[in-house]
Each structure stands twice: as structure tokens, then as C-alpha cells.
Amino acid sequence: MSSDTSFLLGIEDLTVSFDGFKAVDSLNLYIEKNELRVIIGPNGAGKTTVLDMICGKTRPTEGSVKFFNRELVGLSEHEIVRAGVGRKFQTPSIYENLTVLENLEVSFPKGRSVLGCIAFNRTAEVTERIQKVAEEIFLTDQLDVEGAHLSHGQKQWLEIGMLLMQEPKLLMLDEPVAGMSPAEREQTAQLLKRITQGRSIIIIEHDMEFVSRIADKVTVLHLGKILAEGTMEEIRHHPKVIEVYLGH
């Protein structure tokens, strides 16, 4: 099973316990290439913790995370990013004191070593990519605006844009539409559909209506374990899911 190369991401027996409490318990999860997977579940189900372990923020107690058959457990955050995993946090984390342009520039995947950073120049290639990504995230007119002055929704988009600059093969988004207006949600749904091309995405989301609009496949987590997995339609009618989650 673990030697299967068709998966982009293979999570096996992933467990983490905080002072004896197992936040994630023997989780097995496989993400295929070009898949858009949504993880849902009640508060405390361990959704964010799973992402934390994939991207190296939290060290798992047991288990493995294989990305293109490369073990990610034990690597540091920047190594995992360089391997091709991008992460968007729940609260928008952008550089508030930098402009949109600079935010995107800093995220460009070149000049990441100290010397490379000193020698880094804003070449035509960089400017072109920044323009392209800015267009994608609806911020072309805000390039010179400081991050702090963006609206909440725009900050969310900017963070997605920063990830796109990195050209990750796996994109992990933690509640990307939280706090957005209905119009912004609509735009974000289109944005996500568009950027799935050529990469896989894991999204944590609470908004069921939004989930049903974007998801290929949904995984329901409950108490650190997988409760159900399937299409949104299957999940909606799954008796256990209705009991613990949707029924509320």
C-alpha cells in the first residue's frame, strides 16, 4: 500500500497526542493528483491539526505523511514548502507591513537562501508572475496597497495568491471563505475551481453550501478519526454523519 506511487499524498496511521489526548488517531488519508478534497467535521475533530502535521507545524506522535513517496515527517517547515506543499492559515496571515506586490514578491520561489535573497532581483519574469497572480486573485488594482489596508476578504485572497506564487503541487486551505461576503464567496469558489488545474487541494470548510459547490470528495472527521468519506451527496445521507454533525 505505502509503495503505491499513484497517490500525491499518502497519510498512514497518523497519530498525535497532546498530554495523552489523541487529537488525531490513526488517520489514513490518500489524496490523488489533481483532486480537490474537502475535510469537514465539528469543532475539535482534528481538521486543522491534520494540516499542521502535513506542513510540519506539529510533529506527529506516530505515522507517516508521504508526498510523492517522500516522507515529510521530520522535515522542517521550509523544506516541506520547498517540496511543493503550500498552506493557508485560518486567520489570514499576510505581511501587513508590505504592499500586495511585495507580499507576492516575497513568496516567489527563488532567492530563498540568504545569499540568494541578497542577489535577488525583480526580473521581468517575477513581475510577470506577480501580475498574473494578482489578476487571478482580483487584486490587480491594489498592488501598491499595504496588506494592512485590505479588506478581510482581500487578505484571504492575497494569502491564496501568495501560495500560488510558490507554485505548490499540494495546496492546503484552512477555511478560505470564513468572514467573506456572499459575493466574495462566489468569486472565491470560481477562483478555487480555476486553480485546481494541475494541482491538488485540501480545503477545510464549515460552509456546507460552499462545500457542495466545490468538492470532488469529502472527508468527515470526528474525534480525530475518519467518520465517512465520499461525494457530498453520499455524505449528506450518511446516517452517522447526520447524527454527529449535520443533524445539529
Partner 1 sequence: MNTLYNRFIGGKSGLTKLLVLAVILLVVLPLTMSVFRLNLVGKYLTFGFVALGLVMLWGKAGVLSLGQGVFFGLGGYCMAMFLKLEASDPISTKIQSTPGIPDFMDWNQLKALPAFWVPFKHLPISLIAVLVVPSILAFVIGTAMFKRRVGGVYFAIITQALALILSLGIDGNQGWTGGRNGITDLRTMWGWDIRSQSAQYILYFVTCLLLIVSILGLQWLLSGKLGKLLPAMREREDRVRFSGYDVSMFKVFTFCLAAALSGIGGALFVLQVGFISPSLVGIIPSIEMVIFAAVGGRASLYGAIYGTLIVNAGKSLFSESFPQLWLFFMGGLFIAVVVFFPDGLAGVVDSAGKKLTRWFSEKKSGVPPGVSLDDAMLASTAKPEKS
Footprint of partner 1 (CB under 8 A): 55, 57, 76-78, 81-82, 86-87, 89, 93-98, 102, 105-107, 109, 111-114, 117-118, 120-121, 162, 166
Collect all residues with Cβ–Cβ distance below 8 Å to 6 and sequence separation of at least 6: 32, 33
Based on CB atoms, which residue is closest to partner 1, 68 or 89? 89
Nearest residue (CB) to partner 1, 105 versus 175: 105
Residue 110 CA to residue 125 CA, distance in Å, equals 11
Q: How far is the CB of 103 from partner 1 (least distance, A)?
A: 9
Residue 45, classed as helix, strand or coil, is coil
Exposed / middle / buried, residue 94 (Cβ in 10 Å: 0-12, 13-18, 19+): buried
CB closer to partner 1 out of 114 and 124: 114
CB contact set of 190 (below 8 Å; sequence gap of 6+): none
One-letter amino acid at 206 equals H
* Cβ pair 144, 101 in contact under 8 A: yes
CB of 71 to partner 1, least distance (A): 19
Alpha-carbon span 208 to 244, nearest angstrom: 15
Q: Which of 51, 55, 71, 6 is nearest to 33 (CA)?
A: 6
3-class secondary structure, 77: helix
For the bound state, the minimum distance from the C-beta of residue 227 to partner 1, rounded and expressed in Å, comes to: 29
Least distance to partner 1, CB of residue 202, Å? 15
Nearer to partner 1, 42 or 111 (CB): 111
Q: Distance (Å, rounded) from C-alpha 73 to C-alpha 91?
A: 25
CB-nearer residue toward partner 1: 130 or 220: 130
What is the closest distance, in whole angstroms, from the C-beta atom of residue 35 to partner 1 in the complex?
A: 22
Give the separation between CA 121 and CA 105, rounded to whole angstroms.
10
Minimum distance, C-beta of residue 219 to partner 1, in the bound complex (Å): 23
Q: How many residues does the chain have?
A: 248
**Residue closer to partner 1, measured from CB, 64 or 93:** 93
Q: How far is the CB of 55 from partner 1 (least distance, A)?
A: 7
Nearer to partner 1, 77 or 209 (CB): 77
